[in-house]
């Protein structure tokens, strides 16, 4: 499941540089996560790095983008050009 940033975001810019998939960028009003690029950090880290660093805990699972662990692994493989495990 991709993650999403809620309107609690204070635009602190801490999450953008820690995303291994460059899925995070400033949006019109708050930071946004591109669902097509977010793997929940699968393939890179054990836990979502953006959630780890966000000071206001405004990054949540996005029920609009349900994905299994296998699908996240496949997305990681597609994004990085590596073989899926
Ligand atoms: Fe990027 Fe990982 Fe956060 Fe997804 S969970 S937006 S891949 S840092
Ligand atoms: Fe917004 Fe949290 Fe990212 Fe800061 S770390 S820009 S508050 S989502």
End-to-end Cα spacing for the chain: 18
Q: Structure pTM?
A: 0.93
Round to whole Å and give the CA distance between 1 and 64: 8
Q: How far is the CA of 54 from the centre of ligand 1 (A)?
A: 11
Q: Any idea what the CATH number is for the domain that residue 64 is in? A: 3.30.70.20
Number of structural domains found in the chain: 1
The closest-lying atom of ligand 1 relative to the alpha carbon of residue 45 is 2
* Structural domain boundaries enclosing 30: 3-69
Round to whole Å and give the CA distance between 56 and 51: 9
Q: What is the pLDDT along the chain (85 residues), one digit of tens a residue?
A: 799 999 999 999 999 999 999 999 999 999 999 999 999 999 999 999 999 999 999 999 999 999 999 999 999 999 999 865 5
Distances (CA, A) of 78 to 2, 18, 37, 71, 73: 15, 20, 10, 10, 9
Residue 1: its pLDDT value, please?
79
- Residue in the block written with tokens 């708050």: 30
- Considering the domain boundaries, does residue 76 fall inside one? no
Cβ(5) – ligand 2 distance below 6 Å: yes
């Amino acid at each position: 499941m991709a993650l999403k940033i809620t309107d609690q975001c204070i635009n602190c810019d801490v999450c953008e540089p820690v995303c291994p998939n460059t899925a995070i960028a400033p949006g019109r009003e708050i930071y946004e996560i591109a669902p097509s690029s977010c793997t929940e950090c699968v393939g890179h880290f054990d836990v979502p790095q953006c959630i780890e660093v966000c000071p206001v805990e405004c990054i949540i699972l996005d029920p609009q983008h349900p994905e299994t662990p296998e699908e996240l692994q496949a997305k990681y493989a597609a994004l990085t050009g590596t073989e899926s495990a």
